[in-house]
Every structure is written in structure tokens, then in C-alpha cells.
Amino acid sequence: MDHHQPEKTKILFLFSDTGGGHRSGAEAIIEALELEFPGQFTTEMVDFFKDYAPRPINLAPDIWPALSRMPDVWKLTYRASNGRRRTRAVYTTVYPYVRRALHRLLREHPCDLIVSVHPIANTLVLRALRHHTVPFVTVVLDMVTTHASWYDARADLVIVPTEIARQRGLDMGLRPDQVRVVGMPVAYRFRKPMDDCKVIRQRLGWPSDLPVILLIGGGEGMGPLELMAYAIEDLQRPAALVVVCGRNRKLKTHLEKHNWNLPVFIYGFVHEMPDFMRAADILITKAGPGTISEAFIAGLPLILFNRIPGQEDGNVTYVVDEGAGIWAPDPEQAAWAAGKWLDDPQERQCYAEASSRLATPEATRKIAQLIAAQAGLKTWGT
């Protein structure tokens, strides 16, 4: 009796925690690979900055939260490096400094395919792969405004979330057959059939007879959430408010001490976001691509109050132009927009329907299938 098990195909995911989206994007794809092709792959995630970059580059994940709170500095850096020639010049300068670390990464993590979900990994790793024939796939996790470093013509496949991102890839020198428009990868819990809104509200203890405004600021609870919550309270409308503070404990404590004149539910970091979105009527959030994609699947109208300059500018334009939401960077503006939708459910419904039209709930499955097709070329070490 032959007990020999066929060797599993090994996929290496390159990411870094410069913003929460890279890790969650990789995890969503890994989850989809196991759901679509159970037992056929082994996967490994490597934070190439933290684990392999020499000092001080390895500090990038630690510096990121502070840098994201300095929009002018970020905007300058983003724009100064965002171009075909400028990107090439930056990587040509950096490569000699990181070359040994990159070769160590490839030596210590032999695999059959590499998937990059971070723009900075692409050109550097592809250059280090010159003498290997391992396939390389890039999954672009910026929705609309995509930095030049996402696109390297040596990649076997570049998967993008929107047609605008595809066009940018073509402008950057990719061939049409190299780029596929699929959508943003999101965790399975966002796309699986969910409970009825009333059932979820009952479970969460939210009122069933009031519209619910969901206010979130990402995992770090960024932006003027406190001022926004008070501005919504000042509307004096019959509604419930749900505030997700993420890891921002100080904000959570402040809000819990306040004497509210409407039903308010305050949370820290949560794993029930799909249920929260399903049970809410209005979402107020920063313009992160993952949250926007998840809101589309839930059919939520969006009020966007914050964006990272450069990479999230296009997200705002896309949401507004497609009729799925409103840009309201000031707490008073955001509260006013929410009040307008509370007063006019029909208008709110129009925005909600536009949001649903933009949803790509099957994107993660399709990304997994495209990666599996590339992984059929098992060439490492041959």
C-alpha cells in the first residue's frame, strides 16, 4: 500500500505591517487558497522589513503609525518617489545595501511561488531573483491611486482591484496579459452568507427600531473620532451610534465616561466587523481600501472623513463619483451628512445601492485561483 503523499506546493507571502491592510490582505488570500484547494498548499508569511531589512530600514513598521499622522511629510515622500524613472532610481540606490539580506531571505525560505502584497518588495525581490525561475505574483492592495512601485514588468502576474489600477499598470509598462482586474481581497467572514440584520442586532443588544450609525477609524482608532461622535450626538436625531475605537484605549475611556443623550455602543478592537457592517445603516470611516471594499459587500453608504495623502486620494474620488458615499473631512460636515441621510432614507438607499453595485465579494476566491494557476509552474531549484 502506497502511503506516499504528494508534496505540497509552497507559497511565500511577502508583506509588512506598514498599515494593517498588507497583513489582512495576505491572510485573506491564504484563507481562500485553503478553502478553494484544501491541503494542496503550504503558505508562509514573511515581514521582509522587520525580519530581513538592515537597520534602519527594518524600523519602517514601527515608524509607520507616526508617519501616517504627518500627512504633509507622507504626501511629499509619496509624490517624490512616484514615477517610473524615480522609482527605478530609488531602488538602484537601495539595492546594494539590501542585496545580502534579500539573498538570505530567498535562501531561508525556498518556495514554489512568491506572492507580494507590499509595493516595496516587488522590484527589490525580483532583482534578487535574477538567477531563479520561481514565479512571482503581485497583489495590489491600493484601490485606485497606485504607486509606481507596485508595478514591475518582471512579475509573472499583477492582480489589481480596479480598472483604474489596471490602466496605471499599463502606463507603467506592463503588458495587458500581465494585469488582471479582480477586486480587493477580503476575509471569508465578510463574504459568507450573514445572519439577518435583526438577528445580529438582537445578539449585539443594539436597538431594532432605530437607524444605526457605525463610526470607525481603523485598527488604531485614528482620526477625530471623539469630535465626530459628539457632533453626531448634537444632531438630536432618533438614531443609535456605534463607535469602534480599535487599539485606542484612551479614546474608548473618554467616550465611556461621557453622558450620552442617544443609545451609544463603544467597542475597542473587534473581530465582528462583518456583523457590525451588516447591522448598520450608515458607515463613517477613513478611506482605507479594505474597509471600503468590505462596506461595498455589506451595501453600506459611506461618509469618508480621512485619507492618507497620495495613496488614498483616489479612493475618495472613486466612492464619491460612483455615488456610494460622501467626502466630509470635518466632524461637523460628517455629522451633517449623516443627519441628511437619517432625514431622507430614500436618498440613503440610493447611496447604499450604489455601494452594493461596486462590491466584488468573489475577488478573494478569484485571486486564489489565479495564484494556484501560477503555482502549477513548480520551478524552484530546478
Burial pattern 1-30, b for ≥16 Cβ within 10 A else e, equals eeeeeeeebbbbbbbbbbbbbbbbbbbbbb
Cite the DSSP H helix spans in 245-326: 249-257, 273-279, 289-298, 313-321
Q: Which residues contact 237 (CB under 8 A, 6 or more apart)?
A: 262, 339, 342, 343
Tens of pLDDT, residue by residue over 234-243, are 999 999 999 9
> What average pLDDT does the segment 51-76 reach?
68
Tens of pLDDT, residue by residue over 328-381, are 999 999 999 999 999 999 999 999 999 999 999 999 999 999 999 998 844 333
Residue with cell 430614500: 346
pLDDT top residue among 82 and 278: 278
Segments of the chain assigned E as strands: 9-15, 41-47, 113-116, 136-139, 157-160, 179-181, 212-216, 240-244, 264-267, 282-286, 302-306, 325-327
Lowest mean pLDDT among 73-77, 165-169, 181-185, 303-307: 73-77
pTM of the model: 0.90
Q: Cα-Cα-Cα-Cα dihedral of 276, 279, 284, 290, to 10°?
A: 50
User: Residues of CATH 3.40.50.2000 domain(s) within the chain?
Assistant: 9-184+362-375, 189-357
Lowest mean pLDDT among 5-19, 102-116, 260-274: 5-19
Pick the CATH number of 9-184+362-375 from 3.30.70.100, 3.90.1150.10, 1.10.760.10, 3.40.50.2000: 3.40.50.2000
How much is the pLDDT for 302?
98
| CATH superfamily of domain region 189-357 | Glycogen Phosphorylase B; (3.40.50.2000)
> Does the structure show a pLDDT above 80 at 56?
no
Nearest CA to 280 among 260, 269, 294, 268?
294
How much is the pLDDT for 1?
47
Q: How far is CA 188 from the centre of its chain?
A: 14
Residue 7 has what DSSP assignment?
P
